[in-house]
């Protein structure tokens, strides 16, 4: 096996596009700095709502195949070469939003056994040996079943990998500080009239918003803002971008954050303020 770079980051996401919205600038930064960045996506998002009218004929497996292509294009924009689909393409289906019949589909990710899916992810962790893992909080950021399941699977996989010989040094959850979100939505209200969106989302629509004191790590991705926007544009079925804002299929504008924020939930905090890997060399 080819020797991997000294710094290795692994991110676990539910659907194609989640990586670009939540962590695009972070991924681009670390890839540009020479770190090995691995993205594991748990489903193909086959039940996503499609924005462009000319693509609305895409549903189910056809949409999943199309979104797989969008994901590949997004990773190219971010400079990330290692993208995985958990268990292989189509192993776990999109579960749809919480509380709908799709949640009961035995093939959907929400119905997967956590240990079984985590075992598959642990194999990737043991191969890549990341020092840092990034995923969602226990509510999946905003309550989507696939996001909640991605959290459960990621956290369990970290434990399984440790039992088999690789200890992940740090685990982070995606976050947005409330003060930053409120300020950004304030600017959005002032600029909404010149945007291609009629209405604004609200702070409560942003996944992972928490009180500022819970933020442990701030990643300035300003130098990689263009890469993040390009990656988001690659997910054309799901996202419309009008920098520095974007909208999902609900057509509600929200800020496109190029500074990205994290809460360290496992591992040493020293040195982690502006670098996911900060201080780990000294701690090891």
Close Cβ partners of 145 (under 8 Å, ≥ 6 residues apart): 95, 96, 97, 98, 103, 109, 110
d(C-alpha 97, C-alpha 99), whole Å: 6
Bond into 244 cis (ω within 30): yes
The annotation status of 18 as a binding-site residue, yes or no, is: yes
Q: Considering only CA atoms, which of 74, 27, 43 is closest in space to residue 172?
A: 27
The annotation status of 13 as a binding-site residue, yes or no, is: no
Rounded (10°) CA dihedral 193, 204, 23, 104: -120
The annotation status of 15 as a binding-site residue, yes or no, is: yes
The DSSP line for 47-106 is TPPP-SGGGTT--HHHHHHHHHHHHHHHHHHHT--EEEETTSTTSSB---STTSGGGG-T
> Per-residue b/e over 19-38, b at no fewer than 16 CB within 10 Å?
bbbbbbbbbbbbbeeebbbb
d(C-alpha 172, C-alpha 266), whole Å: 7
- Enumerate the known binding-site residues for Zn(2+): 15, 18, 147
- Enumerate the known binding-site residues: 15, 18, 147
């Amino acid at each position: 096996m080819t020797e991997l770079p000294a710094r290795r980051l692994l991110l676990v996401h539910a659907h194609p596009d989640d990586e670009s919205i939540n962590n695009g600038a972070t991924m681009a930064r670390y890839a540009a700095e020479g770190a090995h960045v691995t993205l594991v996506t748990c489903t193909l998002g086959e039940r996503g709502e499609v924005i462009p009218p000319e693509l609305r004929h895409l549903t189910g497996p056809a949409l999943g195949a199309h979104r797989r292509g969008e994901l590949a294009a997004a990773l190219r924009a971010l400079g990330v070469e290692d993208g995985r689909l958990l268990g292989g393409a189509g192993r776990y289906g999109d579960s749809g939003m919480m509380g709908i019949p799709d949640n009961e589909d035995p093939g959907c990710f929400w119905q997967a056994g956590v240990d079984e899916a985590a075992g598959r992810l642990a194999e990737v962790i043991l191969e890549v040996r990341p020092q840092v893992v990034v995923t969602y909080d226990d509510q999946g950021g905003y309550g989507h079943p696939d996001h909640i399941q991605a959290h459960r699977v990621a956290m369990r996989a970290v434990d399984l990998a440790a039992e088999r010989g690789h200890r992940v040094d740090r685990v982070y959850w995606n976050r947005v500080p409330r003060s930053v979100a409120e300020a950004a939505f304030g600017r959005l209200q002032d600029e909404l009239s010149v945007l291609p969106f009629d209405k604004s989302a609200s702070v409560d629509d942003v996944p992972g918003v928490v009180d500022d004191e819970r933020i442990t790590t701030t990643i300035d991705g300003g130098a990689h803002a263009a890469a993040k926007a390009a990656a988001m544009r690659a997910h054309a079925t799901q996202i419309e971008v009008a920098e520095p804002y974007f909208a999902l299929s609900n057509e509600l504008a929200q800020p496109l954050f190029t500074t990205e924020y994290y809460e360290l939930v496992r591992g040493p905090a020293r040195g982690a303020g502006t670098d996911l890997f900060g201080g780990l060399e000294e701690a090891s």
